């Protein structure tokens, strides 16, 4: 027989707040990395080897930097969804309790 499940909405809400801190850290890493890469410029040189290196690595590096930038918003979204899940769970649990008490008020 299944014993059901339980959740800890308070803890879920607390953990949701941690995602804002993580998002802030990722934003700072993204900013610092972007500034460092911009200041370095195409430091691999303009000779054949440097051009080959640039052709192979610039686009993937730019793509990675772009994805790192979007991670900030995504982490914030996870925290928001955690908090919303806690609210939904609490609301559903409270509504079920009200319905049960309405059917058996002396319980």
Domains recognised in the chain with CATH numbers: 10-47+66-103 (1.10.287)
Instruction: For helices 9-40 and 48-103, give the axis angle rounded to 10 degrees.
Output: 170
Query: What secondary structure letter does DSSP report for 72?
Result: H
- Prediction pTM value: 0.70
Distance CA 25, CA 22 (A): 5
| pLDDT average per 10 residues of sequence, the chain (107 residues) | 81 92 95 94 91 94 94 92 94 92 75
**Each residue of 62-72: pLDDT tens digit?**
999 999 999 99
Integer-rounded Cα radius of gyration of the chain: 25
Q: Residue for token digits 């499940």?
A: 5
What are the structure tokens assigned to 85, written together?
A: 């899940």
């Amino acid at each position: 027989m299944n014993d059901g499940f339980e959740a800890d909405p308070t803890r879920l809400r607390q953990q949701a707040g941690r995602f804002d801190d993580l998002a802030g850290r990722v934003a700072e890493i993204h900013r610092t990395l972007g500034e460092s890469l911009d200041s370095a410029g195409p430091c691999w040189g303009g000779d054949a080897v440097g051009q080959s290196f640039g052709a192979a690595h610039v686009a993937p590096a730019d793509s990675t930097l772009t994805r790192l930038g979007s991670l900030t918003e995504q982490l914030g979204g996870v925290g928001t969804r955690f908090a919303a899940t806690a609210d939904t769970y609490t609301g559903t649990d409270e509504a079920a309790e009200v319905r049960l008490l309405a059917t058996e008020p002396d319980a």
